[in-house]
Chains A and B, each alone.
Chain A
Amino acid sequence: MRITTTLSVLLVAASSVIPGCTCLARDQETYRADTRSLVETRNKAIKDCYDVALTTDPKTSGTVVVKFKVEKKTGKILDTSVDGATKAPDALSKCIVEAVDGLTLDPVDQRDGLATFTWTFRANDPKPAPEDAA
């Protein structure tokens, strides 16, 4: 009788844990790849950030490292911040953070993801003025 009771308790305990994890459980590499695909949807916005920075200084270049959390319940990118390894103007880094923040990973994962992504920026040579090129 005692054994039966113990087994019942364990089964109840196990079943209480399992339903909380019915969502997708990615491995680390899949989580990274899926998140990268997600942030890549903002490539245009990120290039715009850079082009704006280039209007201020046509020689702007560097690296922006961004950290964020992918929330398990919602898939939302939260707590986005610029990492100390960043070597780029503040305005550019801030623009990247704003471009990435709020994206949503779909389907959501059963675990939070703590991600680090890096962008490197380099500029083409400026084109000659239209009237000079003509």
Chain B
Amino acid sequence: MPSFRPSRASTSFLLAALTSAAALQLSACGPIVFEDKSAMTVIGDPPPLPPKPKVVQEKPKRVVVEDNKIVINEKIQFDFNKATIKPESDSLMQEIIKVIKEHPHIKKIAIEGHTSSEGSDKYNLKLSDKRAKAVQDYLVTKGELPKDMFTAKGFGESKSIADESTEEGKEKNRRVEFNITEQDVTRKKVAVDPESGEKTVVEEKTKTVKAEDAK
């Protein structure tokens, strides 16, 4: 029976092969390091924008108190060639009364009537004067405001404020103005706390100012 006797060379080869195989297996069990080079992109959805605040257009006030006058942003309507206030101006007149009552610092008002240049000077002067007095009468009788609070005078076409060559300009010139001729003005001295920012009135002085004084 032939017996297998490995030669010294073949034994060495086998030894080397087994050793390298074992080493390979051992190295294959070490950690493997890898880095993903292409980043994963995430597209997000931010929450929807808050609703836009709804713009509530305030109706422009018809009657506004300024420094030395009460501005009427609507016309007092009179019957044609007369000094009778039309009923459609009643709500405006009521608003004027309300505003005057809401501003007790207003002591005296000069009501001025004005016309366009249409018609004679004399006629216009007379009509504007009658209209100014009609307004005063309305404020006193229907608004129960003191009569001595008002003076009423017509100026005809002498104090135009717009170009008389256009219809628009003429319409602007037909108007009633309310000029404050006397009012109480209060001056306050205020101290501000530097820490809290709280304001305290330390002195308050009220004095009556006439239109002539203010000039």
A and B: interacting chains: yes
Q: Are A129 and B50 in contact (CB under 8 A)?
A: yes
A120-B42, A129-B52 given; A3·B6 CB < 8 A: yes
Task: Give the CA-CA distance A33 to B14 in the complex, in Å.
Answer: 38
Query: Which residues 58-87 of B sit at the A interface, judged by CB distance below 8 A?
Result: none
Task: Give the CA-CA distance A28 to B36 in the complex, in Å.
Answer: 11
Query: Which residues 27-60 of A sit at the B interface, judged by CB distance below 8 A?
Result: 28-29, 31-32, 35-36, 39-40, 43, 46-47, 50-51, 53-55, 58, 60
Query: What mask results when residues 12 to 54 of chain B are scored 1 for a CB within 8 Å of chain A, else 0?
Result: 0011001101100110111111111001111111111111100
Q: Are A124 and B35 in contact (CB under 8 A)?
A: no
Count of CB-CB pairs between chains A and B under 8 Å: 144
What residues of B have a CB within 8 angstroms of the CB of A60 in the complex? 44
What residues of A have a CB within 8 angstroms of the CB of B52 in the complex? 129, 132
Could you say which of B28, B29, B43 has the most chain A C-beta atoms within 10 Å of its C-beta?
Answer: B29
A122-B44, A130-B48 given; A114·B32 CB < 8 A: yes
Question: In the complex, how many angstroms separate the beta carbon of B43 from the nearest chain A beta carbon?
Answer: 6
Closest partner residue, chain A, to B21 (CB atom) = A14
Q: Are B11 and A25 in contact (CB under 8 A)?
A: no
Q: Are B29 and A54 in contact (CB under 8 A)?
A: no
Closest partner residue, chain B, to A52 (CB atom) = B44
What residues of B have a CB within 8 angstroms of the CB of A125 in the complex? 46
Q: Are B44 and A31 in contact (CB under 8 A)?
A: no
Closest partner residue, chain A, to B27 (CB atom) = A111
A63-B39, A120-B39 given; A21·B34 CB < 8 A: no
Task: Give the CA-CA distance A129 to B39 in the complex, in Å.
Answer: 32
Count A-side interface residues using an 8 Å CB cutoff. 58
Q: Are B31 and A126 in contact (CB under 8 A)?
A: no
Query: What mask results when residues 1 to 26 of chain A are scored 1 for a CB within 8 Å of chain B, else 0?
Result: 00100110011011001101100011
Task: Give the CA-CA distance A47 to B29 in the complex, in Å.
Answer: 35
Q: Are B45 and A124 in contact (CB under 8 A)?
A: yes
- Select one of B6, B18, B40, B51 contacting A129, CB under 8 A: B51
Q: Are A127 and B49 in contact (CB under 8 A)?
A: yes
Task: Give the CA-CA distance A115 to B43 in the complex, in Å.
Answer: 23
Q: Are A51 and B45 in contact (CB under 8 A)?
A: yes
Closest partner residue, chain A, to B36 (CB atom) = A117
B-binding residues in A (CB < 8 A):
3, 6-7, 10-11, 13-14, 17-18, 20-21, 25-26, 28-29, 31-32, 35-36, 39-40, 43, 46-47, 50-51, 53-55, 58, 60, 63, 69, 72, 109-132
* 21 pairs from A and B in contact (CB 8 Å cutoff): A3-B11, A6-B11, A7-B14, A11-B18, A13-B22, A17-B26, A21-B29, A25-B28, A51-B46, A111-B28, A111-B31, A113-B33, A114-B31, A115-B35, A116-B36, A117-B35, A119-B42, A120-B39, A121-B41, A124-B43, A131-B51
